[in-house]
A = this chain, B = another copy of it.
Amino acid sequence: MRVVITGGSGFLGSALARALISRGFLRGRSGKREEIRELVAVDVEPARESVRGATYLSGDLLDSEILAAAITSDTDSVFHLAAVVSAAAEVDFDLGMRVNFDVTRALIGQLRVCGGQPRLIFPSSLAIFGAMIPEVVTARTAAFPLSSYGTQKAMAELLINDASRKGFIDGRAIRLPTIVVRPGKPNRAASSFASSILREPLGGQQAVCPVARETALWIASPRAAVAGLIHAHETVPEQWGDVRIANLPGITVTVNEMVEALRRSGGDPGLIRFERDPAVERIVCTWPPRIETERERSMGFSADRGIDEIVRGYIEDYLDGRPVAKGTK
């Protein structure tokens, strides 16, 4: 199989690439298990550290030459992770439209030309929810986003759903919870703090929390997100019916609960400064803190077991098993 990851230089793209290389196979278009013989990571930015076994392609997918080089006729599956994150898309509407919507549309167009209904796995986001949220959010809840990021993801979902119905592609859009703990530096996602308040103290650094301690978040670990994207790939069309859109199961945690988990893992909660930021709250507090994922669980998707497991996973995967804070305090 030839498998492409867009946004392949990002942390989730890299984690997915590592997981796919280590796994070695996926369900092919025949429906049978097939060996991944080529894994291509595409990104506008070069990879900081490349994953062994993956080949890298650098460029803009709206450039037709790059698009044609990335999506060849022997491409079986695309994990389309390239995106402009929420706060950045809010500041630059046109950039968000271009990356979050137009690139998705261009990819679908190219996959359609290639033929054979290649699989397209698309991480959407809980940010597609916003206004008129009911008490219980489910697979049937309407997407009325309150951010441009959410809007662009919701439009892309609809396009992927229709392109699948038309037989251009075999698409699956998975709405990811807020990913915690993201490794690396804070990014321009409005939810970036949710990782910072764990990651920075574990690294002996200070972090700022821009929302109230009682704020509840719907989160998933990088491990769960990667597993969810791969599971979405491995499902068969019959499991989806007419709706190629699903909510990845997450867990609900409050900021307070994250702080307590930090303490239990050996990090110092004293490094977190609480300083409300209305711009961040305006986006983050419109996202539902809990989603009923009965449909998705029946399709075989699953969530993390709890916040302690998530913190432990971060320490194992990104801190070589040892929180740096312990060494530096």
Chain A interface (Cβ within 8 Å of chain B)?
Answer: 93, 130-132, 134, 139-146, 148, 151, 154-155, 158-159, 161-162, 165-166, 241-243, 245
Contact = CB atoms under 8 A, between A and B. Distances in A.
15 contacts: A131-B242, A132-B140, A132-B243, A140-B141, A143-B158, A144-B161, A144-B242, A145-B158, A148-B166, A151-B158, A151-B159, A151-B161, A151-B162, A154-B158, A155-B159
Contacts of A165: 146
**Top-10 shortest CB links A-B:** A131-B242, A151-B162, A142-B142, A155-B155, A131-B243, A144-B243, A151-B158, A132-B140, A140-B142, A155-B158
Contacts of A144: 161, 242-243, 245
B242 A146 contact: yes
Contacts of A139: 132
A161 B145 CA distance: 9
Contacts of A134: 140
A256 to B, nearest CB: 28
A295 to B, nearest CB: 9
B146 A143 contact: no
Nearest to A240: B131
Contacts of A93: 166
Contact of A241 (B131, B142, B151): B131
Contacts of A159: 151, 155
B142 A162 contact: no
A130 B243 CA distance: 10
A143 B166 CA distance: 17
A151 B144 CA distance: 15
Contact of A143 (B142, B148, B151, B241): B142
A158 to B, nearest CB: 5
B162 A130 contact: no
A148 B132 contact: no
A291 B146 CA distance: 24
Contacts of A148: 162, 166
Interface centre among A143, A158, A241 (most CB of B within 10 A): A158
Nearest to A93: B166
Contacts of A142: 140-143
Nearest to A142: B142
A89 to B, nearest CB: 10
B143 A143 contact: yes
A251 to B, nearest CB: 23
A165 B132 CA distance: 15
Contacts of A154: 158
A65 B112 CA distance: 32
A208 to B, nearest CB: 26
Contact of A242 (B130, B161, B243, B245): B130
Contacts of A161: 144-145, 151
